[in-house]
Structure 1
Amino acid sequence: VVVVGAPFDAPDGRLFNCAFVCAAGRVQAAVPKIHLPNYSEFYDRRWFVSGAQVELELDDPLLGQFTLAPRQLFTIGAMSFAIEICEDLWAPQPPGIEHALAGAALIVNPSASNELVAKADYRRQLVSMNSAQRICAYLYASSGPTESSKDIVFGGHLLAAENGAMLAESERFALEGSSLLVDFDCQKLHHDRLQHATFAASPRPAPYRSSRLSPGAALPDMAREYPRHPFVPDDLHEFDARAQEILAIQATGLARRMQAAGDCALVIGLSGGLDSTLAFLVCLDALNLLDKPHGELHAITMPGPGTSNHTRESAFALAAAAGVDLHEVDIQAAVSQHLSDLGHDPEQHDVVFENAQARERTQLLFNFANKYRAIVVGTGDMSELALGWCTFNGDHMANYNVNASVPKTMVAYLVRWYATHRATPELAAVLQRVLDTPISPELIPHSEDGAIAQHTETIVGPYELHDFFLFHFMRNSFRPRKIFILACRTFTGDYSPPEIKKWLAIFCERFFRQQFKRTTLPPGPKVGSVSLSPRGDWRMPDEASAAALLAELEDLGEAPAG
């Protein structure tokens, strides 16, 4: 299918600026431009008339039979598209809004937009934001530098956006011309529209003319690349702004809870691991927001049978570098007594042994909070909540969890950013030490040399995979088959298809089986587009089963197809 811009001299003497839709070797339809600029360097009305009200069935001796009308939908495969032309996009009431509400998932815009200082930035923002407002894909193509340059220059700017995200962009001013090859995701756009209640509730325009077009030649293989870490921006400048915003949301949410609780203090369990370190940094920021001294933060470290020397030392170093007093309470005697009361063999390192430690720590934290007139700050991240990798009514519980919607991959990036941009040299060194520590709940006795014996990613799988699964499952509602295919393409060379399938099955199984923990989730701030809060984005019955998803995975075999 080809869309090409050209003037059309109608039989009734009107001249229209048109986009011709060509397929199967002939012109299928023509869409006229509606908004005609007549200012600055533009003089469209000198030649053309608006096609807002035109609707002609034509039998042209050269072009054959076709419809000339502005409100037309064209369907090719699973994608329906419509057309607006150049100034139509810039107008206060772009026709593309009605196009989208009529069912167009893609808007195509052939344009003749000249280049001026900063105009490309404005054009890029315009395309991006219009695709977001309409929840659609947007393909924009402007004429290039082979046009006359007598008074103005055209850059040949090509842009492809999808619901606010710029997927591809050409270099401008290429004398040999430019092209883009872009994959738009129809399924994702359909899901996003379903999720956006105001889009669904918006009044629909009068019915459009619809045409189904043959795709002709087979489409090439998928060219679109998906980021390995979808929660984390690839662009360093964008991430710098994102990190500041996330930390500000977390700190502001916590500060407001402190005010609501009567200007209270804070209690946090500090393990020397990533999650508690990020929560600790957020606590410092919240105290700074309220002009409170760091002495209002009571950090508690509670070594148990599985605590390594490395993480214990990190906890002490972290508190010292931030000027916070650290209370140490060894829980081994209390855990031993508790296991004895249960009649449980302390050498049997099962879920009873592990959860006894987590719940002992939570009990201490809440009692310390009573002692200091404080609230308990939760530390568990969203990836752990998705997998249920926490102890019910243990580390799962807090008065306010600042990390509740921060995935594990983002936690690491935020701590690294803090070390680079905000920390003193002493604190930065400790944060790097924490970043270098293997992820572990440390609930199994450590080795004789004091090293960590329990590695989370060996048990439940790599967090970069689980965050990839989580993003596409929650944000895009992709089925396991599609997630598997995308993961195999994205992580080629790092994980084999059987490995990806194994960890995806674990993700699906645990995500459903552990919903009961999310049902009683403590409050915490939403920082991104994905959240597992039972009071907001994710309302799921505890009894829901993953059987259908697991069966779909089982039917895939060991290698992706399609």
Structure 2
Amino acid sequence: MKIALVQTNPVIGAFERNLRQVQAWLEKAHLAGCDLAVFPELTLCGYPPQDLLERSTFLEAHDRALQELLGFCGEMACVVGVPVLRHGPGKPLYNSALLIDGGRVVFRARKQLLPTYDVFDESRYFEPGEPALAFPFRGQRLGLSVCEDIWSEPLRYPLNPVTELVAAGRPDVLINISASPYYHGKLEERARVFRDLCRSQGLPLLYVNQVGGQDSLLFDGHSLAMDREGRVCRVAAGFAEDMLVIDTDHWQEGAPVPPPTDTIDQVFAGLVMGTRDYLHKIGFKQAVLGLSGGIDSAVTAVIGCAALGADNVLCVAMPSPYTSQASVDDARNLAGNLGCGFELLPIHRTMEAYRETLAPLFAGLADDVTEQNIQARIRGNLLMALSNKFGHLLLSTGNKSELAVGYCTLYGDMSGGLAVLADVPKVMVYELARWINRDREVIPEHILTRPPTAELKPDQCDQDDLPPYEILDPILEAYLEENLSVDGIVARGFDRAVVCDVIRRIKRNEYKRKQAPLGLKVTSKAFGYGRRYPIVQGFVEE
């Protein structure tokens, strides 16, 4: 039997679009001689639909699309992910996989493990399903499951759906439909979990994953076929729609292929896809950003041009009296290398207008961070004016390290519709820049070698106010992603006073992050709805 593994890029709730997409792939699978096409979790509505699942009109529109799909399938069988209404006590829906053959549903599997951690909140909407059984289909016994059901961990869940499925009647192959978000480190984690599963059960696995950007989440695809020894036989493209055709009589033959690995180019591809999908799915074609001559805005500009095309990106340098000529030159040279639009808007006179207006109230008071923030807010206002006038989405350029400790200005450099690097630590920003320059100098070398600076006062450097990023970033990772205590972080060799100061800054700036633009998630714990901490709190860690 030939099976097509099809990773699609849906738009949440765009049922007509998503249906036509599925139908087009079904036709391609049919032309390839496939008997069965397998699509990702919640195929027609997209994942995660969140509280749209609470709207009856949403579910009715979904069912109309499903009925149209049933009428379209004909002799071509498919597996699709759907929300299914249920009755009785508990939640009103099952997260299900349907096997459709001959225009009717011949088998269904319901998701048993409903993740409720990080960005997941499935128990808010779904009721756990009953144990699944293997299903005979065209000479094969299929063990069908949905996403988390093959990620069972004893410390997180009291049951293992795959073990129960195999015990009830051994299948020939496991098939899992998924919407598994990406983060740096997820690819190798996924390969390890799947390898252990195949080896422990002695069964091959066909895995289909959603692809595309959905708000802050990035779905990487990388659908794959793995043999009973846990070797990858075939793997689909990352961060792009794709179809793998697997022949169950021959798919375990030949040399295994290397599984996808967590390299910096995967992060870049994810950020490009996420930027492109976010803008295009909400109706924007062009972007604007401030180009300071620093590393963050440089990398953001490269990603924006890769995502949208250089002709659709406008970079704006806005020098103040504290901006060096080198910064302006670096910004202009970068824009020239990229071939994108470039404009120069000096803010000297605007700063003077602010000073004059505020002089009666500020009389006798020394300059401080207020005057620095005014510069950032002038730039934010100018960029938003360009965004409004020309219909460009403003890309903010701050990184995760700055956002964590509040080294950013509300309504200034935090202004924007999408924060491309909001989950990228500063050290990784430099890794991205070096990868971008791997073949030729796209980002001027001076940007990579100069000390990071906001240039909001004379001779300013980031490390006047912050620990070196080589120290700050590991502390942030330990605290934010690993949930280590102060003692646990200090045990890794960091100064206690520095650790306590960093944690104090993280907590003090929670209010800023709640007002920050949406950012693209590339680490295991990003700021946003996957990290839920109160702004007002009195808990002190020392």
Match of 2:461 in 1: 455
Displacement after TM superposition at 1:131 (Å): 9.8
Distance in structure 2 (CA, Å) of the matches to 1:98 and 1:516? 36
Distance in structure 2 (CA, Å) of the matches to 1:300 and 1:371? 14
User: Would you say the 8 A contact 1:468–1:487 is kept in 2?
Assistant: no
Match of 1:287 in 2: 308
Distance 1:307 1:510, change over 3 A: same
Does 1:303 find its partner at 2:319? yes
User: Would you say the 8 A contact 1:339–1:346 is kept in 2?
Assistant: no
Match of 2:454 in 1: 441
Match of 2:514 in 1: 519
Does 1:406 find its partner at 2:424? yes
Does 1:539 find its partner at 2:532? yes
In the TM superposition, 1:150-549 aligns within 5 A as 242-288=263-309, 294-343=310-359, 344=362, 348-421=366-439, 425-427=440-442, 430=444, 432-445=445-458, 453-488=459-494, 500-533=495-528, 536-545=529-538, 548-549=540-541
- Secondary structure at 2:438's aligned position in 1? helix
CA deviation digits over 1:283-319, x for unaligned, max 9? 011024xxxxx22211100001221222121111111
Match of 2:135 in 1: none
Distance in structure 2 (CA, Å) of the matches to 1:541 and 1:335? 35
Q: 1:129 aligns with which of 193, 210, 223?
A: 193
User: Would you say the 8 A contact 2:287–2:314 is kept in 1?
Assistant: yes
- Secondary structure at 2:367's aligned position in 1? coil
Report the AA paired with residue 451 of structure 2.
P
Displacement after TM superposition at 1:360 (Å): 0.2
Displacement after TM superposition at 1:521 (Å): 1.8
User: Would you say the 8 A contact 1:382–1:406 is kept in 2?
Assistant: yes
Distance in structure 2 (CA, Å) of the matches to 1:277 and 1:362? 17
Distance 1:532 1:333, change over 3 A: same
Displacement after TM superposition at 1:258 (Å): 2.3
Give the aligned length. Answer: 306
User: Would you say the 8 A contact 2:323–2:455 is kept in 1?
Assistant: yes
Displacement after TM superposition at 1:346 (Å): 11
Distance 1:130 1:264, change over 3 A: closer
User: Would you say the 8 A contact 1:339–1:345 is kept in 2?
Assistant: no
Distance in structure 2 (CA, Å) of the matches to 1:351 and 1:99? 47
Distance in structure 2 (CA, Å) of the matches to 1:273 and 1:478? 32
Q: Which runs of 5+ in 1 are unaligned?
A: 1-91, 104-123, 139-236, 289-293, 446-452, 489-499, 553-562
- Secondary structure at 1:406's aligned position in 2? coil
Match of 2:134 in 1: none
Distance in structure 1 (CA, Å) of the matches to 2:520 and 2:370? 31
Report the AA paired with residue 444 of structure 1.
K
Q: Rg larger in 1 or in 2?
A: 1
- Secondary structure at 1:522's aligned position in 2? coil
Distance in structure 1 (CA, Å) of the matches to 2:522 and 2:385? 29
CA deviation digits over 1:121-155, x for unaligned, max 9? xxx9999427988xxxx9xxxxxxxxxxxxxxxxx
User: Would you say the 8 A contact 1:269–1:301 is kept in 2?
Assistant: yes
Distance 1:385 1:545, change over 3 A: farther
Distance in structure 1 (CA, Å) of the matches to 2:190 and 2:522? 25
- Secondary structure at 2:493's aligned position in 1? helix
Report the AA paired with residue 386 of structure 1.
A
Distance in structure 2 (CA, Å) of the matches to 1:393 and 1:371? 18
Q: Superposition RMSD on alpha carbons, in Å? A: 3.3
User: Would you say the 8 A contact 2:291–2:316 is kept in 1?
Assistant: yes
The percentage of counterpart residues that share the same residue type is 27
Q: Which moved more, 1:500-509 or 1:372-381?
A: 500-509
Displacement after TM superposition at 1:251 (Å): 1.4
Distance 1:420 1:396, change over 3 A: same
Displacement after TM superposition at 1:97 (Å): 6.9
Report the AA paired with residue 525 of structure 2.
V
User: Would you say the 8 A contact 1:460–1:506 is kept in 2?
Assistant: no
Distance in structure 2 (CA, Å) of the matches to 1:474 and 1:519? 16
Distance in structure 1 (CA, Å) of the matches to 2:388 and 2:259? 41
- Secondary structure at 2:289's aligned position in 1? strand
Report the AA paired with residue 376 of structure 1.
L
Distance in structure 2 (CA, Å) of the matches to 1:322 and 1:462? 30
Q: Which runs of 5+ in 2 are unaligned?
A: 1-142, 144-148, 160-187, 201-257
CA deviation digits over 1:14-54, x for unaligned, max 9? xxxxxxxxxxxxxxxxxxxxxxxxxxxxxxxxxxxxxxxxx
User: Would you say the 8 A contact 2:416–2:517 is kept in 1?
Assistant: yes
Displacement after TM superposition at 1:544 (Å): 2.3
Match of 2:176 in 1: none
- Secondary structure at 2:303's aligned position in 1? helix
Distance in structure 2 (CA, Å) of the matches to 1:100 and 1:516? 31
Distance in structure 1 (CA, Å) of the matches to 2:262 and 2:527? 24
Displacement after TM superposition at 1:518 (Å): 0.7
Displacement after TM superposition at 1:481 (Å): 0.7
CA deviation digits over 1:325-378, x for unaligned, max 9? 310011011011112211246994311100100000000001011222111011
User: Would you say the 8 A contact 1:346–1:353 is kept in 2?
Assistant: no
CA deviation digits over 1:163-204, x for unaligned, max 9? xxxxxxxxxxxxxxxxxxxxxxxxxxxxxxxxxxxxxxxxxx
Distance in structure 1 (CA, Å) of the matches to 2:189 and 2:291? 43
Distance in structure 2 (CA, Å) of the matches to 1:101 and 1:308? 57
Distance in structure 2 (CA, Å) of the matches to 1:457 and 1:299? 26
Report the AA paired with residue 459 of structure 1.
D
Distance 1:376 1:345, change over 3 A: farther
CA deviation digits over 1:222-255, x for unaligned, max 9? xxxxxxxxxxxxxxx9998522221122112221
Displacement after TM superposition at 1:502 (Å): 2.7
Match of 2:235 in 1: none
CA deviation digits over 1:75-129, x for unaligned, max 9? xxxxxxxxxxxxxxxxx999x97799679xxxxxxxxxxxxxxxxxxxx999942
Distance 1:100 1:455, change over 3 A: closer
User: Would you say the 8 A contact 1:271–1:311 is kept in 2?
Assistant: yes
Displacement after TM superposition at 1:461 (Å): 1.1
Distance in structure 1 (CA, Å) of the matches to 2:523 and 2:396? 18
The structure with higher relative contact order (CA 8 Å, sep 6+) is 2
Displacement after TM superposition at 1:401 (Å): 0.9
